[in-house]
Structure 1
Amino acid sequence: MNPYSGDFPSASATPGGQPPTAQHTVDTTVLVTPPSEEAKPADKAEEKARRGPVRDRYFDLLRALALFRVVLYHLMGWAWLPLVFPSMGVMFALAGNLMARSLKRPAIQVIRGRMRRLLPPLWLLGAVGVTGMVIQGWGPDPDNHPGWWWIHLAYWIVPLSDPPYAEGLPGIHGVIGENWAADFAGPLWYIRAYLWYVLLSPFILKLLRATPAATVLAPLVLAVVLEQGYLDLPGERFPSALTDFSTFGACWILGMAHQEGVLSRLPRYIVPSVAPVIALLGLWYATNHDFGEGNDLDSMPLAQALWSFGTVLLLLHFSPSWSEWPRRLRRWDRLITLLNSRAVTIYLWHNICILAAATMWDQLWGIDMMWMHFSWLLESPWPVLVFAWLLIFGCIVWFGWAEDLAAKRKPQLWPDGSASAAKRDGGRKASRGSRRRKG
């Protein structure tokens, strides 16, 4: 993700680096690079400047795996999946890395840009979801300060706290299950946490540069304090935000530390020695607090914080920084590019897609032939997973354009990189043709 630059030697210099003199002017003409060859470095530099910073494909792969694991976990509910790959910690670490790189520009400009990219997809989600809730009868509660209902709706515009939603709504028969609003609003905690991390990042970066170790470890210390009950806060909104910061804040700061070069300055043996110990400490804590189905890392903030921190630290330590895909992964280029281009859309809409897929799949039990001969298929979650991803891909087409508008790009229905690749190939062919004509 970092741009590269280089200086090219002048073709008019002699091999010894001295300017040509009268006695060897004729001889040095044979050392001057032919015009077609001389243009190559300049053309490459011009093309690189036009393309902008090179994407780190390793980070793209991690983000794509994190999104796939989130969808798989929310459908299957397997307690061991967050242990295999702590998706939320990885996603926050990658976002923190990108935020630290962006903060080379003025902080206000960066924060405004991040909010501009984040909020329009949320507004589109709210326009669809809140409208559906209101149609089904959601509105101000006359017995509970109805004015607060309107004030809390502002969190759908700027999610400094969790946006409100209707509980216990009936579903749409055969299409979506009951209490669908709870699944609809489920992913919004991530948007709220992300927004607060963005707002705090300029201050965190200053602390990181001044006291790296203390800044990285501070969220873990806070997680211990909250877990032990040393800090008891009233209400629900502020304690919820503080718990999220203590759980994943260290991962965000690790991403910033990686970008700032803090991790690379450590002796090579430190991270492989320390990270597994921290992760295993989190696993030990989980297994000693009834870890299992219905009580996994998501319900154990301290265990989640320690396991995610240790795993993310290892992933960043072994980061190969691919500017191009390794040969074995090139076949997945378009899919991974698509998932990265629509990461916010996928995360916001995946929960409701899973619920809709499961609801519609269950309708097949009403067909006699299906339950009599294919009950094994109806009971399997794997067709539901495929169906859910088909609906997610539909949401990419229907709602993904909001991410393009937020980023001030031309809207695309299917941004898998194929159009950009074709454009680059056309540019290369035109450039080669131009060099041949010059030669």
Structure 2
Amino acid sequence: MTMQQTPVTDAPKDEGAPRTGPVRDRYFDLLRALALFRVVLYHLTGWAWLPLVFPSMGVMFALAGNLMARSLKRPPVQVIRGRMRRLLPPLWLLGVVGVTGMVLQGWGPDADGHPGWWWLHLTFWIVPLSDPPYAEGLPGLHGFVGENWAADFAGPLWYIRAYLWYVLLSPFLLKALRAMPVVTLLAPIALAVAFEHGYITLPGERIPSALTDFSTFGACWILGMAHQEGILRRLPRYVVPSVAPVIVLAGLWYALHHGFGPGNDLDSMPLAQALWSFGTVLLLLHVSPSWSEWPRRLRRWSGTITLLNSRAVTIYLWHNICILIAATLWDRLWAFEVLEQNVPGLLESVWPVLVVVWVLIVGCVLAFGWVEDLAAKQQPRLWPSKPRESAGGSRSRRAPGG
């Protein structure tokens, strides 16, 4: 758990107002960058309170749902094909590196005794309709990559699988949202309650896992669509500030009464996560200022935020293995007696490791990020910290993943 020369305005517009035209929303760019940074920090530290401060996954799904609803003004088949074209090539590159490394360390069809199933499941690295398989318990590279590295390597892939299913379901979700907005928004929450209390039980792991992700973050995706459709704007102004805190507090109450703490945070509590993320995202979309240009106080960060948005998929896919490598390398410093005796606090601190993590992530952006440009049918760039210039000289307004 990952960063146009027009008059600047900080004034918020009406809550939930749909974005008209293709103008890029810098507020959404900021939220996506914060979400990525928080994901990286959380997966490094495991601090249970971080998802409470900023529910990154709910935010990322909401922003993606917003973009999907905007894109569905075009034919759905065309939109879905475009989304898959942008999403899958970075995953394929990850699979080429990761699966090759697993095979070289002995992973193969005899590992689980079902060669046919092994080959079939391997296709999930091509189209992740379910979680791609990986080798468990592999030895690391001594001093450079820790043991069981494949688990860390494949850890982020649940998000890609969930994102793909949301994309495939979006045309139907959008029709349902327009016909029955309240029912559609609350359906994933109701499903989370049903799972939590055992009203619905399903055999196996793959289908329950996919449905749990939908029940946990589906409401956030649909909220993003509702924001784009202007449904939230039609609510009286007092509704969201009155209702959202109640939903957030309900999620917090549930978490605190089910052993919330280190090792048992929101990620281990789908219902609490669903409520907390839904309420927080609802508030963030309610605030939603209109930033077609960066506010003055954020201009110094515009390049970093643009880079994080332009390479969001690459950063998300590779950050876990970067964390493992950084932690393994940092642990080697304990072998130096002078450091162990004089600066043990530095060796125990997570902040130097975080710096190393981002150095490695930068390396991944340089080495693999260009695939995102090719997937978007754009000219590859090593360091996309500035918006693209269109053929006519104006800045590109295509959003990442859009």
Q: What is the match of residue 102 of structure 2?
A: 133
Change (3 A) 1:255 1:419: closer
Give the one of 265, 282, 293 matched to 2:234.
265
**TM-score in terms of structure 1 length:** 0.84
Q: Aligned partners of 2:290 and 2:187: how far apart in 1?
A: 28
For 1:296, the equivalent position in structure 2 comes to 265
Match of 1:367 in 2: 336
Is 1:66 the counterpart of 2:27? The answer is no
Q: Does 1:349 align with 2:318?
A: yes
Displacement after TM superposition at 1:418 (Å): 6.6
Contact kept, 8 Å, 2:306 with 2:387, in 1: the verdict is no
Match for 2:251 among 279, 282, 287? 282
Residues 1:406 and 2:375 aligned together: yes
Describe the superposition over 1:170-201 as per-residue Cα deviations: whole angstroms up to 9, x where unpaired.
Answer: 00011110000000000000000000000000
| CA distance in 1 between partners of 2:393 and 2:312 (Å) | 24
Distance in 2 (CA, whole Å) between partners of 1:394 and 1:373 is: 31
Letter in 2 for 1:247: T
Q: Counterparts of 1:368 and 1:205 in 2: how far apart (Å)? A: 61
Q: Which residue of 1 aligns with 2:282?
A: 313
Residue 84 (structure 1) shift: 0.3
Once residues 284 and 87 of structure 1 are traced to their aligned partners in structure 2, the CA distance between those partners, rounded to angstroms, is 20
1:373-422 deviation per Cα after TM superposition (whole angstroms, max 9, x unaligned): 1211111110000000000011000000110000000000000007749x
Identify the residue that residue 354 of structure 2 maps to in structure 1: 385
- Cα deviation for residue 53 of structure 1 reads 2.2
Q: Report the Cα offset of residue 163 of structure 1.
A: 0.2
Q: Which has the higher Rg, Structure 1 or Structure 2?
A: 1
Q: Which amino acid aligns with 1:124?
A: L
Q: How many residues align?
A: 375
**Is 1:168 aligned to residue 137 of structure 2?**
yes
2:215 corresponds to? 246
Query: 3-state DSSP class of the match of 2:304?
Result: helix
Gaps of 5+ in 2: 1-5, 7-20, 396-402
1:211 aligns with 180
User: Which amino acid in 1 is paired with 2:197?
Assistant: Q
Matched, 1:256 2:225: yes
**2:202 counterpart (233, 238, 241):** 233
CA distance in 1, matches of 2:214, 2:104: 35
Give, in whole Å, the separation in 2 of the partners of 1:143 and 1:271. 51
Determine the C-alpha separation between the residues in 1 that align with 2:387 and 2:79: 29
SS at match of 1:201: helix
Contact 2:192 2:274 in 1 (8 A): yes
TM superposition outliers: structure 1 runs of 4+ over 6 Å: none
Q: 1:326 aligns with which of 289, 295, 298?
A: 295
RMSD over equivalenced CA pairs, Å: 1.6
Q: Can you list the C-alpha shifts for 1:18-70, whole angstroms capped at 9, x where unaligned?
A: xxxxxxxxxxxxxxxxxxxxxxxxxxxxxxxxxx8211000000000000000
Letter in 2 for 1:228: H
Partner SS for 2:248: helix
The unaligned stretches of length 5 or more in structure 1 are 5-51, 427-439
CA shift digits 1:204-227 (9 cap, x unpaired): 000000000000000000000000
- Give the equivalent residue in structure 1 for 2:309: 340
Match of 1:118 in 2: 87
Q: Cα deviations across residues 64-104 of structure 1 (Å, max 9, x unaligned)?
A: 00000000000111100000000000000000000000000
Letter in 1 for 2:93: L
1:146 positional shift: 1.4
Relative distance call for 1:360 and 1:425 in structure 2 (3 A) is same
Q: Which of 345, 364, 383 lines up with 1:376 in the alignment?
A: 345
> CA shift at 1:424, angstroms?
5.4
Q: Distance between the aligned counterparts of 1:145 and 1:74, measured in 2?
A: 33
Which structure is higher in helix share? Answer: 1
How far apart are residue 371 of structure 1 and its match? 1.2
Deviation sequence 1:258-306 (CA, Å, 0-9, x none) = 0000000000000000000001000000000000000000000000000
Could you tell me which residue of structure 2 aligns to residue 10 of structure 1?
none
TM-score normalised by L of structure 2:
0.91
Q: Give yes or no for contact 2:192–2:271 (8 Å, CA) kept in 1.
A: yes
**Which whole-Å CA distance do the structure 1 matches of 2:57 and 2:213 have between them?**
11
User: Greater relative contact order: 1 or 2 (C-alpha under 8 angstroms, separation 6 or more)?
Assistant: 2
Aligned to 1:36: none
Name the amino acid aligned to 2:327. A
Deviation, 1:141, is 2.4
The amino acid across from 2:207 in the alignment is: F
**Distance in 2 separating the partners of 1:142 and 1:71:** 31
2:26·2:292 contact (CA, 8 Å) conserved in 1? yes
Q: CA deviation at 1:144?
A: 2.4
Q: 1:319 to 1:425 in 2, by over 3 A?
A: closer
Q: Which amino acid aligns with 1:115?
A: M
Aligned to 2:91, the other structure's residue is in SS state helix
